[in-house]
Amino acid sequence: MLIALAVQLGGSLLAEMANLDTAWLIGILFYVLSGWAAVLLGSRLSLAAAICGAGVCLALPFSLLPQAASLILTNVIYIALYLPVQRVFDQRLKIAEVSRATLTIGRGWSLFTLIGRALSIADRLPYFAGQDKLSAAQGHFTALFQAQLAIEVAGLLAVVISYVFMVRYLWRAKNLLTD
């Protein structure tokens, strides 16, 4: 899972710096690695989500789905991928009798994943469409554009916090479960 996260973040940054439209390819690689981790963990729901995610990423360059719909679907798939994995780790760590702090980090990961992805979905709702252009035409920010901006910032913060919790949790789990 950590390798899949590194591929997702690193690949996105490299594609952005090189100004390439390779998000779909990075997404497929991310979901393949996440599917492999789901198989290793025995999480069928996460494996199904990884397969669906790879399918959505494969459809991106062909514009088979509207952009807003594909982003919403990607966020739902992300939730369906990570939350079962976190549950499997929780079960294994409870058996290993780890500290309460480790389990709390896992709960934080789940909570901030849900918050971040829900805000990302809310950001793509149809009534926010075109508010940036309307704001530019009017010469001031519309109330909906300000709300969308606040949702985007809150969602970005939640996702960053979620990734921090996830990396800490998975690193602890890796170290505890390999002993």
Tell me the pLDDT tens digit for each residue of 17-57.
555 566 677 778 888 888 888 888 888 998 999 899 888 88
pLDDT over 60 at 12, yes or no: no
Q: Check: CB of residue 36 under 8 Å from CB of residue 85.
A: no
CA torsion sign, 106 to 111 to 113 to 116?
negative
- What's the pLDDT band for 65 if we cut at 50, 70, 90? confident
**pLDDT value for 48:** 92
pLDDT over 60 at 15, yes or no: no
Question: What is the rounded distance in angstroms from the CA atom of residue 129 to the CA atom of residue 139?
Answer: 17
Q: Tell me the per-residue pLDDT of 111-167, one tens digit each, with 9 for 90 and over.
A: 888 888 888 888 777 777 788 888 888 888 888 888 888 998 998 899 889 888 888
- What's the pLDDT band for 69 if we cut at 50, 70, 90? confident
**pLDDT value for 154:** 92
- Residue 131 φ/ψ, nearest 5 degrees: -70, -30
- What's the pLDDT band for 4 if we cut at 50, 70, 90? low
Burial of 117 (0-12, 13-18, 19+ CB in 10 A): buried
* 143-178 vs 67-95: helix crossing angle, rounded to 10: 30
- Residue 96 φ/ψ, nearest 5 degrees: -80, 0
CA torsion sign, 61 to 63 to 67 to 72?
negative
